[in-house]
Structure 1
Amino acid sequence: MTNDLEGLGFDGEPFDPFAAPPAGEPPAPAASQTGGNGGADNIGAVAREMRRAVADAHRNALHAQVLMQARTLSRWGVDIAAPTVSAAASGYYEIVNGRITPSTAPPTAQTPPPVTTEARFKPLARTERTTLDRDDLARLADGDISGVFGPGYLQPGCNPSVKLAAGTALLLDEVGGIGLRGGSSGHGALVASVARLDGTPEQLLAAGEQAAEIFALYLGLHLCLADAVFSPGDGSGEPARSEAEITTGLHATEVRLDVTGVDLVPRPHVRADVEFRAGDEIAARITGLCLALVEKPGVPIGPDRGGTVPAFLGRYSAAGEQTLINEFHIAHFARGSHGIAFGPEFEHYSDRRATRVPDRGLTLVDRLVSMDGRRGELDGASYETEYDSPADSWYYADTANASMPNMIYMETSLQSALSIGYFLGPTLSAPQAPVSLRNLGGTATVLREVDLRDKTLRQRSQLLSTTLNNGASLQSFAYTLLADGEPFYEGETLFGYFSEEAMANQTGLDAGRAVPTWLDAQQPRPAVRTIDVAARRADPAAALCARDHFALLDDLHVVDGGGRYGNGYLHAVRRIDPDDWFFARHFPRDPVIPGSLGVETVIHAMQEWLLDAGLGEGMTNPGFILPVGAPFTWKYRGQFVPTDGQATLEVHIKDVRRGPGRVRVTGDASMWKPGLRIYELTDIAVELREEGARPW
């Protein structure tokens, strides 16, 4: 202990009112020389000395706490360098893993681009709290996270060390505002008041880190780990670097956290710039602050070999069950370590083209809750997964539908199937062979109309069969989706894992023959009229119009009374831009247009035709919905890639059904890449209904 104390590096001298004055200062006058009370000069000198000594003692105590915390955390293998204590000074500083050194270069000014709505981080928990008082902060410092933010943050038996300002003095007084989508780039913001900071880089860094800790807890980042601590950096093990600039003579009373990034890979972390203000003036800045939640040494964070989960990994389901894998593992499946996601035998897939779940805003499965099955036993496994669908999700904002669009129905059900099918190990029999995963088709039916905003979707699935062939492996699934315990969607689907040779030898739906669209096959060519979808979309007042990420059509060509059934024919060509947003999401390192997005494009064409035909006239509050009780079948025999240039679709209107407050349009459709028909959709339907209309 003596050696530990010698390393604490106290500043100043111990206060002793009877000690000789420091060199260069006159002795304090004795009481007998100044009167019975010692005189004003002596009292002032003693008071000044006491203030200096108390300040030194307070700073030394804080410094000792930081050092002792660093020693404690080092026993867990967490490298937190102990900062040195310095007097308040202006200038530039470089901060590496908490160690602060002067720098001659000003901080690098970087403004991150605004995050798009589909790429925004989805919190692991939600709260109504946007302000916190001193008592709330004290409870966070005690580890009572759910007591402050609500029951969604409850994590019984987990993360005893995840506390605000653990082992150090709490520097923030209250949080005046937390914004989930605020800040310069839309990643989030936090504003907190502080007592007068002394202006040292160490204290400013501590205050900035505490603000980042609050934001991380607010997002629920700790919920996907079982026993973690806050640590500088992103959890990769690389040095955590940031920069600071301090203005002399200003004592900050406000901390502003501008979040520049949030991710779960490699570990849950927050990146932010921090501004310290004294009234209207900027006292200091920290640029590039990064803080992660990192597991203690020896604590498991993912499945073992064979897919077994060695211990509870920290995440509870929406119903309070202990889950098997969670958002952290799914994020690694999309863009990180497959070994962390599914077990060590998958690690070699991490750095090459391999099966992945779609990324960011297209990640539509969150948690594996339970499984009845084992890795390597590829038939008969059953399992349950969850997906949280917040009301502020990009697809609710961009769809023309009254609730969730068809694409998300399809994607969340298919992603649950593909993720767990892959988890069971169909590719491990030939682990070095490059394979691509593709959906080949299926049938699905909406069972009831339900608004899915802010719902947790529960999926019950069964792996029906696995067929292993040279160059291709096929898996078939059956699934049911539930909301509030009641089924609302069910279907079956088929996935294939294909070798590079199989992917290069695709013949589409017509055995390699070039089959023209119905319109191109007509002689003479019939009259065509055009619906200007782009012009309608450009009108902010245009209702029932898909926008932004769902801006999939610019114009639509119509042959009234045409098509296979004589009820109308739709034709559209969509230009494929290699920079289209979805290529970066589906799939990382293997970009193709999601088949469900092709289906969504067909649905948009049918919706635009329904409105243009005046079938919704007389409705005062209409909304598009997915038709209930109408089975829809899709078949894919190819994919659209960034270099295809264009996609062509056609729809044959099959039936128009009218009822009180409702109209339903059903059709058959196909899609072509240049020279090859690759999608076939049977009995695809759209429905417009008056709000509150009775079911069929």
Structure 2
Amino acid sequence: MNDELGFEGEPFDPLAEDEPQRTPEPATVRPAGTGTAVVAREVRSAVATAHRNALNAQVLLQARTLRRAGVALAASRFVDAVDGRIRPISALSPAPAVPFVTTEGRFKPLARTDKAELGRDDLRRLTGGDIAGVFGPAYSQPGCNPSVKLAADAALLLSEVTRIELRGGSSGRGLLVASAGPLDGTPESLLASATQAAEVLALHLGLHLCLADAVFAPGDGSGRAARCEIDLVRPGPLAAAQIRLDVTDVDLVPRPHLRADVEFRSGGAVTGRVAGLSLALVEKPGVPVGPARGGVPPAFLGRYSAAGEPTVLSEFHIAHFARGSHGTAFGPEFEHYSDRRATRVPDRGLTLMDRLVTLDGERGALDGAKYETEYDSPADSWYYADTANASMPNMIYMETSLQSALSIGYFLGPTLADPDAPVSLRNLGGTATVLREVDLRDKTIRQRSELLSTTLNNGASLQSFTYTMHADGEPFYTGETMFGYFSEAAMANQTGLDAGRSVPTWLEQQNPLPATRTIDVAARRADPAAPLCARDHLALLDEVQVVDGGGEHGKGYLRAVRRIDPADWFFARHFPRDPVIPGSLGVETVIQAMQEWVLDAGWDEGMTEPGFILPVGAPFTWKYRGQFLPTDGAATLEVHIKDVRRGPGRVRVTGDASVWKPGLRIYELTDIAVELREEGAQPW
């Protein structure tokens, strides 16, 4: 194959992994905000009672555990755990502002529960490790994680959890509100109770579900010393305190962890703060977390499928494939890819594969492998909110199916024959057909794929696949596709679909130019009440030019230009360290132009509850021979309407389309179709 692409990647600092654990740095000593002698008298008076001594002993036990694990404390006031003396420590440093996370970038929990409040009995069950008993069967993990418990080996300081919001908090990353007490008011007591609140939220998110035998530990699981800062705003014992835990980060890399700022209130006033609290789930020594050489897990790695089967790879491994250690993701043969531009799955909100459930094949045997993957599609996913469709947009159908194919095709080792050769992965095309209309909100998509062949051709390794996606046990989408792994030399010579020739659009070839009219998409989108309108991350077009009765078939012609901004959100996701516009997003842009034309032409007339769907039984073919880079400036598309089909409560529009980067036609779409239907309309 002589179709070639071109891109030179950007340097990117690799993640620091597996660093040896270091001794925490000592806190900087500064004068405390209050007189030391006054504070000393207050604390000595408080610790005089037997009850306080007993409580201190419990809290200090947990504090020593945290210190042994490498946590460093910085506090405005602090009672030394060894000699009981009061030592002034640095005041709380100003916390850096945490940007609000967009819907696309939100962390997707590994399990979901409706339980957002926990009583004392629930908390006690969590101290015994009964996580599924509290949160539900999605958290069941038979035979795994016997040591993952709330407040393990320490006193339970929380009395209840009154609120858990997955998308709450100042940055939209999560919020937990709890009550605790009595607390002795020391930095250790604040840290211990804040840590327990973080443990509850970590369990609620299901962070433990992708490890087989883990424990809670401070930090992010990298082995670096964890450090948080504690500010005693109003020193002294607290009979009861409200804890507000505001999440600033949640991730699965390097290990499942969260980071939060915690505020304590009593009597309506702030009494203390813990800034930069971090908590991870880390494997016990010797417990494997990823595949061994050859891609075979040495033992069960802890994650079960939606149907309760042991899986081969989990969300944890896919996250590492996107932005972490490739050795952790796929086995030690892949570790050298971690610090270079290499094949990666799209990241964050564009990661649309969760688990490899079964694999009938082995690394190095590249043809004939069959496998099943899963992807959970929560109803609060960004693409449901942003699409004009009644359910999932076309680009997510495409990305989900293609990512499952490419990820396991890569896992089987097509690049390992020459592991030092830099290569870039690109989709070359395929055909797909929707088999039935289905609402995929809160569904688990099960995909069955087969790697048909792997061939070498002119510096490129090509892989072809077939796949079928299922929901509730029934197929709903099927297709075939081809991917290529291209060398730097192949990527340096991009010739597009027309052997390097610059081919103008149909409109540019007309003489004289026909009359055009413009659909103002931006103006319609500016109306919050405008129906059937793509928004936010899927706001891909501002206007569409129309030639009524134009185009190759004489039934209508559409042309649109999309400006490319290097800061566009998807460049950070697709692909990490190798940014290009997803081909599926280019297809989605064409679909939006067609949807806008359908509405502008009045095809929704007479419908009371219209909705766009992916047309059933209509094969669609795409061909890519190039890529859009952050520096390309603009993408131009054209659509030739070839058929308009009307039926009771339905209209389907089919066309052929092309997409250009400056000077080069690189996408060709055949029989691309959109359909508008009345809710409840009978099938064709």
* TM-score calculated relative to the size of structure 1: 0.89
Give 1:470 deviation, angstroms: 4.3
Return the alpha-carbon distance in structure 1 between the equivalents of residues 165 and 564 of structure 2. 36
The equivalent of 2:592 in structure 1 is 604
Q: Is the 8 A contact 2:461 2:485 kept in 1?
A: yes
Q: 1:55 to 1:490 in 2, by over 3 A?
A: same
Q: Does 1:613 align with 2:610?
A: no
Amino acid in structure 2 at the alignment position of 1:333: F
Return the alpha-carbon distance in structure 2 between the equivalents of residues 628 and 620 of structure 1. 22
Summarize deviations over 1:355-392 as a string: whole Å, max 9, x none. Answer: 00000000000000000000000000000000000000
The equivalent of 1:56 in structure 2 is 53
Gaps of 5+ in 1: 1-47
Q: 1:610 to 1:49 in 2, by over 3 A?
A: closer
Partner SS state of residue 118, structure 1? coil
Return the alpha-carbon distance in structure 2 between the equivalents of residues 533 and 441 of structure 1. 29
Return the alpha-carbon distance in structure 2 between the equivalents of residues 283 and 50 of structure 1. 18
The equivalent of 1:316 in structure 2 is 304
Amino acid in structure 2 at the alignment position of 1:618: G
Q: 1:62 to 1:571 in 2, by over 3 A?
A: closer
Q: 1:101 to 1:191 in 2, by over 3 A?
A: farther
Q: 1:419 to 1:93 in 2, by over 3 A?
A: farther
Give 1:101 deviation, angstroms: 7.5
Q: Does 1:178 align with 2:168?
A: no
Partner SS state of residue 407, structure 2? helix
Q: Is the 8 A contact 2:608 2:678 kept in 1?
A: yes
Q: 1:493 to 1:206 in 2, by over 3 A?
A: same
* Structure 2 counterpart of 1:537, from 506, 525, 533: 525
Return the alpha-carbon distance in structure 1 between the equivalents of residues 662 and 646 of structure 2. 37
Summarize deviations over 1:584-611 as a string: whole Å, max 9, x none. Answer: 0000000000000000000000000000
Return the alpha-carbon distance in structure 2 between the equivalents of residues 70 and 157 of structure 1. 27
* Structure 1 counterpart of 2:422, from 424, 428, 434: 434
Amino acid in structure 2 at the alignment position of 1:266: P
Give 1:157 deviation, angstroms: 0.2
* Structure 2 counterpart of 1:206, from 168, 171, 192: 192
Q: Is the 8 A contact 2:356 2:374 kept in 1?
A: yes
The equivalent of 1:226 in structure 2 is 212
Give 1:110 deviation, angstroms: 2.2
Partner SS state of residue 290, structure 1? strand
Q: 1:82 to 1:272 in 2, by over 3 A?
A: closer
* Structure 2 counterpart of 1:269, from 251, 257, 273: 257
Q: 1:679 to 1:102 in 2, by over 3 A?
A: farther
Summarize deviations over 1:401-436 as a string: whole Å, max 9, x none. Answer: 000000000000000000000000000011011100
Partner SS state of residue 209, structure 1? helix
The equivalent of 2:399 in structure 1 is 411
Give 1:104 deviation, angstroms: 2.8
Amino acid in structure 1 at the alignment position of 2:257: H
Return the alpha-carbon distance in structure 1 between the equivalents of residues 62 and 114 of structure 2. 34
Give 1:91 deviation, angstroms: 3.8
The equivalent of 2:272 in structure 1 is 284
Q: Is the 8 A contact 1:623 1:690 kept in 2?
A: yes
Amino acid in structure 2 at the alignment position of 1:184: S
Q: Is the 8 A contact 2:421 2:487 kept in 1?
A: yes
* Structure 2 counterpart of 1:584, from 572, 584, 592: 572
Q: Does 1:686 align with 2:683?
A: no
Summarize deviations over 1:85-128 as a string: whole Å, max 9, x none. Answer: xxxx9648999xxxx98433432222201000000000000000
Matches within 5 A, 1:117-516: 117-249=103-235, 251=238, 253-516=241-504
Q: 1:690 to 1:92 in 2, by over 3 A?
A: farther
Return the alpha-carbon distance in structure 1 between the equivalents of residues 46 and 637 of structure 2. 84
Q: 1:50 to 1:581 in 2, by over 3 A?
A: closer
The equivalent of 1:666 in structure 2 is 654
Q: 1:81 to 1:491 in 2, by over 3 A?
A: closer
Amino acid in structure 1 at the alignment position of 2:142: P
Q: 1:101 to 1:168 in 2, by over 3 A?
A: farther
Return the alpha-carbon distance in structure 2 between the equivalents of residues 173 and 264 of structure 1. 29
Q: Is the 8 A contact 1:335 1:588 kept in 2?
A: yes
Return the alpha-carbon distance in structure 1 between the equivalents of residues 387 and 311 of structure 2. 32
User: What percentage of aligned pairs have identical amino acids?
Assistant: 77
Return the alpha-carbon distance in structure 2 between the equivalents of residues 429 and 50 of structure 1. 67
Q: Is the 8 A contact 1:111 1:184 kept in 2?
A: no
Summarize deviations over 1:199-235 as a string: whole Å, max 9, x none. Answer: 0000100000000000000000000000000000000
Partner SS state of residue 119, structure 1? coil
Q: Is the 8 A contact 1:225 1:313 kept in 2?
A: yes
Amino acid in structure 2 at the alignment position of 1:647: A
Task: Compare CA radii of gyration and give the structure with the larger one.
Answer: 1
Give 1:506 deviation, angstroms: 1.4
Q: 1:662 to 1:606 in 2, by over 3 A?
A: same
Q: Does 1:552 align with 2:543?
A: no
Summarize deviations over 1:527-582 as a string: whole Å, max 9, x none. Answer: 01000000000001100000000000000000000000000000001110000000
Return the alpha-carbon distance in structure 1 between the equivalents of residues 61 and 504 of structure 2. 79
Return the alpha-carbon distance in structure 1 between the equivalents of residues 59 and 674 of structure 2. 65
Return the alpha-carbon distance in structure 1 between the equivalents of residues 264 and 207 of structure 2. 25
Q: Is the 8 A contact 1:93 1:103 kept in 2?
A: no
Q: Is the 8 A contact 2:247 2:261 kept in 1?
A: yes
Structure number with higher relative contact order (C-alpha < 8 Å, ≥ 6 residues apart): 2
Return the alpha-carbon distance in structure 2 between the equivalents of residues 568 and 83 of structure 1. 68
Amino acid in structure 1 at the alignment position of 2:648: P
Give 1:80 deviation, angstroms: 4.9
Q: Is the 8 A contact 1:357 1:587 kept in 2?
A: yes
The equivalent of 1:25 in structure 2 is none
Return the alpha-carbon distance in structure 1 between the equivalents of residues 568 and 429 of structure 2. 24
The equivalent of 1:24 in structure 2 is none
Q: Does 1:629 align with 2:617?
A: yes
Return the alpha-carbon distance in structure 1 between the equivalents of residues 92 and 73 of structure 2. 21
The equivalent of 1:21 in structure 2 is none
Return the alpha-carbon distance in structure 2 between the equivalents of residues 540 and 465 of structure 1. 49
Amino acid in structure 1 at the alignment position of 2:423: V
Q: 1:123 to 1:93 in 2, by over 3 A?
A: farther
Give 1:194 deviation, angstroms: 1.1
Q: Is the 8 A contact 1:93 1:245 kept in 2?
A: no
Partner SS state of residue 104, structure 2? helix
Amino acid in structure 1 at the alignment position of 2:548: D
Amino acid in structure 1 at the alignment position of 2:467: Y
Give 1:238 deviation, angstroms: 1.0
Amino acid in structure 1 at the alignment position of 2:137: P
Amino acid in structure 2 at the alignment position of 1:213: E
* TM-score calculated relative to the size of structure 2: 0.90
Return the alpha-carbon distance in structure 2 between the equivalents of residues 60 and 317 of structure 1. 43
Summarize deviations over 1:312-346 as a string: whole Å, max 9, x none. Answer: 00000000000000000000000000000000010
Partner SS state of residue 305, structure 1? coil
Aligned length: 634
Moved more, 460-469 or 595-604: 460-469
Give 1:81 deviation, angstroms: 6.2
Matches within 5 A, 1:27-42: none
Amino acid in structure 1 at the alignment position of 2:483: F
The equivalent of 1:29 in structure 2 is none
Partner SS state of residue 125, structure 1? coil
Return the alpha-carbon distance in structure 1 between the equivalents of residues 629 and 259 of structure 2. 34
Runs of 4+ in 1 over 3 A off after TM superposition: 48-51, 61-67, 80-84, 89-95
Partner SS state of residue 385, structure 1? strand
Give 1:468 deviation, angstroms: 2.0
Q: 1:351 to 1:81 in 2, by over 3 A?
A: closer
Q: Is the 8 A contact 1:665 1:686 kept in 2?
A: yes
